[in-house]
Amino acid sequence: MSTPSPIAVKVENVVKSFANGDSRTFALKGASLEARFGELLMIVGPSGCGKTTLLSVICGTLKFEEGDVAVFGQELRAMRNGDITRFRRENIGFIFQQFNLIPTLTAVENVSIPLILKGVSTAQAEKHACEVLEKVGLADKYKSYPSQLSGGQQQRVAISRALVHDPRLIICDEPTASLDSTSGHKTLELLQESAVRPDRCVIIVTHDSRIYEFADRIVQMDDGRVVGQFDDPSQLSHA
Amino acid sequence: MFRIALKMLFRDRAKYAMLVCGLAFCSLLMCQQSSVFCGLMTWTTATVRNIGAPVWVVDAKVEQANEIIPMRQIEVDRVRGIPGVAWAVPLYIGIEQARLTDGSFQNIQLVGLDTGTLTGRPMDMRAGRIEDLRLPNAVVVDQVAVEKFRRKGIKIELGTTFEINDKEARVVGICHVSRSFLGQPYVYTTFDRAMEYAKPSRKMLGYVLTAPIPGVSNEELAKRISSLPGLRAIAKDQFFWDTIRWYIRNTGIPISFGTVVILGVIVGIAIAGQTFYLFVHDNLRFLAAFKAMGAPNSTLAGMVLLQAFSVGFIGYGIGVGLASWFGNTVLAKEQPPFFMPWQVPVFVAGVIVFICAFSALIGLTKVMRLEPAVVFR
């Protein structure tokens, strides 16, 4: 029996609500989960169940009211805003649903942003960005603007941007939502191939059941809570 | 990230062009109108600058240089009697009618210089000699006379004759001096001959020009002369500013030009502020992505400020450049008046900085309040 990998992200009984006029709407009602190093974890569930809120809480872009979130052993609640910002810059790579590539920047310029934010010189950052783009098969698209790329290519640029600064946690929000089935499949293949490493944790929020097969583990959410965990994607379909 | 910010700005060509054009237009409008205003104000002081005497003595009721209340010629002697006066000479300035050889008339500003010393003579002679004014019926005309006469088909050159109040005047020189506010040509002659040309009156002395002896300041001398009943003495610089202030207070010129300048500021704020707001608003999602990726607020604020001040700097450069080109073009023709003291571009730069700061502030408030979590929505 193999020893389980160390825990990368630990979420315990997190409560998060949003003001809605005079009342409050609870998006998370005591959600708890663990994500381990070397693991590709998918958070699934119906729309409005709190998946994206949980993702935002994990990466420190959203404050929560109750519970604890520890990323690589660091309690987010205890960190100041500036420290959380620095923590994200150093440790987290993002892949967004709408890609969020800057339309006025070329592929290589988009990819180099996380490195520039870390203080790497523009020349060095772009050089490294070119290498990463080459690895994802976009060697001939360095100078292309997002509008000149297909959806799949744009997502590959977004993956390159998430990986370029070698973060320990990759956060993906609906990475296949804007892609067709083939491109979505290829994107997950690429993500599995290039992002999953023993010293890294990948968390994907999705409700695209076609990509469940890529998960090492799946966490199912409903109504602001984690309602199930599955090591085998096929278990989910029977659940 | 600042390089990234500039690329985001420059490559959004439509908004970039709109921002630069708005600020350039605003700078041009403010700079050009302010310079024309300053030019017009310098025209009002043409007499003071052309004559250049250290101290001017006028009737006690005179408020500005173009207002002539004739005095008796004896006032010259009264001034000469004041301790500290190095010299004092009479000056005649009056509007007369010149009759040209084709029978047409032209209003002129006749300047009668002290016959002995020719004090207040034009410094820039383009043809002839100023000393020839002592010849019979001699006059020296300025470049405006040459231009105005030429429009009537009369070419002015040395030896050309015309009449002033039915008396012959012969051109012995052509000079270049600052144009008068009313645009009438300056015609120089001696004080004695000016008395002959002008319609006779009991009081014909326009000004007494004087200067202090060494050790006495212009202001001190002016103070001493002003103690004489019925006279007011003013140092050259004060007369210059008194004249400008009088026109600012008593004419609609500042309101007219000020309105256009304010319009320029409003246009600048409206166009630049609104376009920059749209620019920031359109990029808000990407700025949120930067924030999520770990860009601190200070970096994002720096990016927005850099973008705002870059377009401001470029727009200002183009606007002031165009205003200078306009000025250079019109200076050759001397119309409309144009004078751009250093204070004008500094003032315009200040307004542009304000507009940019205002525009950036609108964008910054959105950026500072931005929740990085919006990138997941």
Q: Hey, what are B169's tokens?
A: 């005047």
Q: Hey, what are A51's tokens?
A: 């998946």
Whether residue B274 sits in one domain with residue B165: no
Q: Are B255 and B20 in contact (CB under 8 A)?
A: no
- To the nearest whole angstrom, how far is the Cα of B10 from the nearest Cα of chain A? 9
User: 3-class SS at B248?
Assistant: helix
What b/e string do you get for A210-235 counting C-beta neighbours within 10 Å, with b at 16 or more? ebbebbbbbbbbeebbbeeebeebee
Q: State pLDDT tens for residues A85-125.
A: 888 888 898 888 778 888 889 999 999 999 998 889 999 99
Q: Hey, what are B270's tokens?
A: 């409206």
* Residue ranges making up the domain that contains B281: 2-43+252-376
Chain A residues 210-229 with a CB less than 8 Å from chain B: none
Chain B partners within 8 Å of A159 (Cβ): none
**Which residue type, as a one-letter code, is found at position B53?**
A
Rounded to an integer, the average pLDDT of A210-223 is 87
Q: How large a percentage of chain B has pLDDT more than 90?
A: 34
**Which residue type, as a one-letter code, is found at position B158?**
L
How many separate domains does chain B show? 2
**A56 to B7: CB separation less than 8 angstroms, yes or no:** no
Q: Which of A86, A92, A100 sits opposite B289 (nearest CB)?
A: A100
Whether residue B97 sits in one domain with residue B58: yes
Q: State pLDDT tens for residues B306-354.
A: 988 898 899 999 999 999 998 888 777 767 788 888 999 999 899 888 8
Classify the complex by whether its ipTM is higher than 0.90, answering yes or no: no
Q: Is the pLDDT of residue B170 over 90?
A: yes
Which of B250, B275, B307 lies at the terminal end of a domain, its last residue?
B250
Give the phi and the psi of residue A227 in degrees, each rounded to 5. -110, -5
Closest Cα in chain B to A84: B294
Instruction: Name the residue with tokens 């050259």.
Output: B236
- To the nearest whole angstrom, how far is the Cα of A193 from the nearest Cα of chain B? 23
Chain B partners within 8 Å of A102 (Cβ): 4, 8, 283, 286
Chain A partners within 8 Å of B299 (Cβ): 117
**B291 to A100: CB separation less than 8 angstroms, yes or no:** no
Q: State pLDDT tens for residues B68-127.
A: 899 998 999 999 999 999 999 999 999 898 888 888 888 899 999 998 899 989 989 999
Closest Cα in chain B to A174: B376
Mean pLDDT of chain B: 88
Rounded to an integer, the average pLDDT of B13-34 is 88
Give the phi and the psi of residue B99 in degrees, each rounded to 5. -110, 125
Instruction: Name the residue with tokens 């002129």.
Output: B108
Whether residue B283 sits in one domain with residue B151: no
Which pLDDT does position A142 carry in this prediction? 86
Q: Hey, what are B357's tokens?
A: 């700061």
Which pLDDT does position B1 carry in this prediction? 81
Q: Is the pLDDT of residue B240 over 90?
A: yes
Q: State pLDDT tens for residues A125-162.
A: 999 899 888 888 888 888 899 999 988 888 889 888 98
Which pLDDT does position A236 carry in this prediction? 67
**B289 to A94: CB separation less than 8 angstroms, yes or no:** yes
DSSP state of A1: -
**A96 to B289: CB separation less than 8 angstroms, yes or no:** yes
The answer to whether B294 faces chain A, any CB pair under 8 Å, is yes
Rounded distance between C-alpha atoms, residue A221 and residue A47, angstroms = 10
Q: Which residues contact B127 (CB under 8 A, 6 or more apart)?
A: B157, B158, B173, B174
Q: Is the pLDDT of residue B212 over 90?
A: yes
Chain A residues 82-121 with a CB less than 8 Å from chain B: 82, 85-90, 92, 94, 96-98, 100, 102, 104-105, 109, 113-114, 116-118
Whether residue B312 sits in one domain with residue B212: no
Whether residue B187 sits in one domain with residue B256: no
Which of B203, B232, B250 lies at the terminal end of a domain, its last residue?
B250
Q: State pLDDT tens for residues A9-43.
A: 899 998 988 887 788 888 888 888 988 888 889 99
Rounded to an integer, the average pLDDT of B33-41 is 87
Taking CA atoms, B310 is separated from B2, B3, B31, B353, in Å, by 11, 12, 19, 10
Q: Is the pLDDT of residue B266 over 90?
A: no
- To the nearest whole angstrom, how far is the Cα of B310 from the nearest Cα of chain A? 17
Q: Are A197 and A209 in contact (CB under 8 A)?
A: no
Q: Hey, what are A111's tokens?
A: 């990819």
Which pLDDT does position A183 carry in this prediction? 76
Q: Is the pLDDT of residue A239 over 60?
A: no
Which pLDDT does position B216 carry in this prediction? 92
The answer to whether B213 faces chain A, any CB pair under 8 Å, is no
Q: Is the pLDDT of residue B281 over 90?
A: no
Q: Which residues contact B158 (CB under 8 A, 6 or more apart)?
A: B127, B128, B171, B172, B173, B174
Reference A156, options B294, A144, B293, A85; nearest CA is A144
DSSP state of B199: P
Whether residue B91 sits in one domain with residue B213: yes
Band of residue B252 on the pLDDT scale cut at 50, 70, 90: confident
Rounded to an integer, the average pLDDT of B182-187 is 88
Higher pLDDT, A193 or B18: B18
- To the nearest whole angstrom, how far is the Cα of B316 from the nearest Cα of chain A? 25
Which pLDDT does position A237 carry in this prediction? 58
What size, in residues, is chain A?
Answer: 239
- To the nearest whole angstrom, how far is the Cα of A119 from the nearest Cα of chain B? 9
Reference A126, options A142, A148, A141, A139; nearest CA is A142
Candidate ranges A48-57, B77-86, B198-207; pick with highest mean pLDDT = B77-86
Whether residue B365 sits in one domain with residue B243: no
Chain A partners within 8 Å of B1 (Cβ): 113, 116-117
- What angle, rounded to 10 degrees, do the helices at A122-135 and A107-117 form? 120
Helices (H), ranges, B54-106? 74-80
Q: Are B75 and B231 in contact (CB under 8 A)?
A: yes
Mean pLDDT of chain A: 85
Whether residue B257 sits in one domain with residue B246: no
Which pLDDT does position A2 carry in this prediction? 59
The answer to whether A146 faces chain B, any CB pair under 8 Å, is no
Closest Cα in chain A to B370: A61
Whether residue B52 sits in one domain with residue B116: yes
Residue of A55, A71, A94 to mutate, testing the B interface (most B Cβ within 10 Å of its Cβ): A94
Whether residue B29 sits in one domain with residue B113: no
Which pLDDT does position B335 carry in this prediction? 72
Which pLDDT does position A82 carry in this prediction? 86
Chain A partners within 8 Å of B12 (Cβ): 104
DSSP string for A46-82 = STTSSHHHHHHHHTTSS--SEEEEEETTEESTTS-HH
Band of residue A238 on the pLDDT scale cut at 50, 70, 90: low
Hey, what's the torsion of the CAs at B26, B31, B33, B39, to 10 degrees?
A: 180
Q: Is the pLDDT of residue B241 over 90?
A: yes
Taking CA atoms, B239 is separated from A236, B79, B165, B185, in Å, by 95, 18, 31, 22
Rounded distance between C-alpha atoms, residue A148 and residue A154, angstroms = 9
Whether residue B97 sits in one domain with residue B50: yes
Whether residue B209 sits in one domain with residue B72: yes
Reference A62, options B283, B292, B368, B289; nearest CA is B292
DSSP string for B34-67 = HHHHHHHHHHHTHHHHHH--SEEEEETT--STT-
Q: Are B284 and B336 in contact (CB under 8 A)?
A: no
CATH number of this structure's domain A7-102+162-238, picked from the four choices 3.40.50.2000, 3.40.50.300, 3.40.30.10, 3.90.1150.10:
3.40.50.300
**B376 to A85: CB separation less than 8 angstroms, yes or no:** no
Which of B250, B277, B311 lies at the terminal end of a domain, its last residue?
B250
